[in-house]
Amino acid sequence: MVERNNTRYILRTAIILLLAFSCLALYVVYLQVWEADRLAEHPLNRRAALAEDSVLRGSILDRKGEVLALSPNVGERRYPYGRIMAPVTGYLDDTIGSTGIEAYKGAELSGHSRLLGRLGPLAQIFSSARGDDVYLTLDAALQETAYEALGERRGAVVMLDAESGAVLVLASRPSFDPSDIQAQWDRLRQDKESPLVNRALQGLYPPGSTIKPLILDAALENGVTNSKEVFDCTGALKVGDSVIHESHGAVHGRIDVEHALIESCNTTFGSLALRLGGKKLADAFRRFGFEETAQGELAEAAAHLPDFASLGQGDTAQIGIGQSTLLVTPLHMALLAAAFANDGVVMKPYMVERVVTPNGITLEQHRSEKWFEATTAARASLIHGFMEEVVQEGTGTAAALRGVRVAGKTGTAENSGEDHAWFIGSAEIKGRKVAFAILVENSGGGGTEAAPIARKLLEKLQDD
């Protein structure tokens, strides 16, 4: 009897141990097969950092092969463009960690993204002594032009290929020197100018009048106006206890929707927002992707959208001119401009073009993909034409460039300090459609402060 009980006990224990080991084995397989890439690229994974002791880290290069980050020796990292590219390349430090492309493609750069890299210590027997190279869509010369054009002002510049989604410029100022981040760490973290924040992706700002093309598209889509309607601008629109004024006390008089966009008539767009109401405004922002955020190497802050269902009349009118509680990133405003330049279609933005091994084998090659359809080709064409007139005769003339059809929309966004200056738009140069967004913090009018930066970028693109 005792022997039989012992046998049952041993059998039961063996089954429990077998099940436990089976669960453990299945979990290990799950981690190695399904979670390997995510864990390899996780910022807290120290394996990539430890690999620097034996692997020469790969380089980060721009679209033309210009080197943005390189390792002359194992454990050494140099950044030829320093502050200009720091928001993109990020930094790499054994103690602090990594950001930017150094973090997002850290596994590839250290050679640990390949199948052999998943073998742990065994990988040292088989793996290459050099990591993979990462090629970006950025243009270093354009990035430098954007950075210098901002001067000493805080702000961001985004430019992308409207037809593919490839990001050409992602500039943010102030910036930092990524070469010796540990020595600067305490100072950078305490700096009130926030140089570690990539304003192009993480900065949230009221869009001001740059949102008006979206409002006009929504009004036309919902039939609350048409391209021929004439409004009467008296210089102010009273809504309940709030009043929307025209900039500089302007009175536009009788004005159609085209010239309302060209002259950036606040009362017209406040009226259009009131006609639309919260539900239709919410639908418009959804169609233009403001409920979505770019991910991966372009992980951006989510837009701050109001609760459209509970908006009062005053706030509804303010949404029409890009104010109230609405906050957006420069990247998403560049995508808004791209929608009107690309027949209403927004391509998914990306910055990593390809990953190449030391032997020249391409491991990854990006393929452009449609992200969403914001509007119809007909409405996109109509509003894009209006935006061209903004640059030809309206508030955006400082962006005009001889021989190039530039479309744009200025914005002067009110906030707690001095107004932010915005300019968004697009142009076709040498067969390429580019869209852009420029934000200069606390600097005044978009037409005088942001639009000239667009012109400098387009001139550089034209001369390239």
Residue 11 pLDDT > 80, yes or no? no
Residue 409's pLDDT band, with cuts at 50, 70 and 90, is: very high
Q: H-helix or E-strand containing 230?
A: strand 230-233
State how far the alpha carbon of 112 is from the alpha carbons of 36, 54, 433, in Å.
10, 12, 37
pLDDT digits (tens, 9 = 90+) for 114-150: 545 445 554 554 455 899 999 999 999 999 999 999 9
Q: Which amino acid is at 214?
A: L
CA proximity to 410, closest of 247, 293, 194: 247
Within a domain: 119:
no
Residue 325's pLDDT band, with cuts at 50, 70 and 90, is: very high
d(CA 291, CA 266): 25
pLDDT digits (tens, 9 = 90+) for 213-228: 999 999 999 999 999 9
Residue 20's pLDDT band, with cuts at 50, 70 and 90, is: confident
- Indicate whether 22 and 165 sit together in one domain: no
d(CA 201, CA 67): 23
Instruction: Pull the structure tokens for residue 52.
Output: 């620097």
d(CA 166, CA 353): 8
Q: What is the DSSP letter of 401?
A: B
Within a domain: 181:
no
Residue 277 CB coordination number (10 Å): 16
pLDDT reported for residue 417: 86
Within a domain: 70:
no
- Indicate whether 25 and 151 sit together in one domain: no
Within a domain: 322:
yes
CATH code at position 393: 3.40.710.10
Average pLDDT, the chain: 91
pLDDT reported for residue 180: 86
CA proximity to 57, closest of 82, 96, 93: 93
d(CA 284, CA 441): 27
Within a domain: 261:
yes
Within a domain: 363:
no
Task: Estimate the crossing angle of helix 451-463 against helix 140-150, to 10 degrees.
Answer: 150
Q: 345 and 287 in contact (C-beta within 8 Å)?
A: no
pLDDT digits (tens, 9 = 90+) for 50-89: 555 678 999 999 999 999 999 999 989 999 999 999 999 9
CA proximity to 56, closest of 69, 66, 46: 69
Q: 377 and 385 in contact (C-beta within 8 Å)?
A: no
pLDDT digits (tens, 9 = 90+) for 157-203: 999 999 999 999 999 999 999 998 999 999 999 999 999 999 999 99
pLDDT digits (tens, 9 = 90+) for 21-44: 777 767 766 766 566 556 555 555
- Indicate whether 27 and 166 sit together in one domain: no
Instruction: Pull the structure tokens for residue 40.
Output: 């390899």
Residue 19's pLDDT band, with cuts at 50, 70 and 90, is: confident
CA proximity to 428, closest of 453, 403, 450: 403
Q: What is the mean pLDDT of residues 15-24?
A: 75
Residue 333 pLDDT > 60, yes or no? yes
Q: What is the mean pLDDT of residues 425-445?
A: 97
CA proximity to 177, closest of 187, 163, 164: 187
The string of DSSP codes covering 167-215 is EEEEEEES----TTHHHHHHHHHH-TT-TTS-HHHH--B--GGGGHHHH
pLDDT reported for residue 5: 59
User: Residue 27 sits in which domain range?
Assistant: 2-32
pLDDT reported for residue 97: 93
Residues in the chain: 464
d(CA 20, CA 18): 5
d(CA 397, CA 420): 18
pLDDT reported for residue 115: 46
Q: What is the DSSP letter of 419?
A: P
Within a domain: 137:
no
pLDDT reported for residue 302: 97
Instruction: Pull the structure tokens for residue 254.
Output: 């009788």
Within a domain: 196:
yes
Task: Estimate the crossing angle of helix 330-341 against helix 377-393, to 10 degrees.
Answer: 110
- Indicate whether 457 and 308 sit together in one domain: yes
d(CA 426, CA 129): 44
Q: Which amino acid is at 315?
A: D
Residue 94 pLDDT > 60, yes or no? yes
- How many domains does the chain contain in total? 2
Helix (H, G, I), strand (E, B) or coil at 374: coil
d(CA 306, CA 331): 19
Residue 431 pLDDT > 60, yes or no? yes
d(CA 387, CA 396): 9
pLDDT reported for residue 268: 98
pLDDT reported for residue 73: 94
Percent of the chain with pLDDT over 90: 81
φ and ψ of 10, to 5 deg:
-65, -45
Q: What is the mean pLDDT of residues 343-366?
A: 97
Helix (H, G, I), strand (E, B) or coil at 362: strand
Residue 398 pLDDT > 60, yes or no? yes
pLDDT digits (tens, 9 = 90+) for 225-273: 999 999 999 999 999 888 999 998 999 999 999 999 999 999 999 999 9
Q: What is the mean pLDDT of residues 286-303?
A: 96
Residue 372 CB coordination number (10 Å): 16
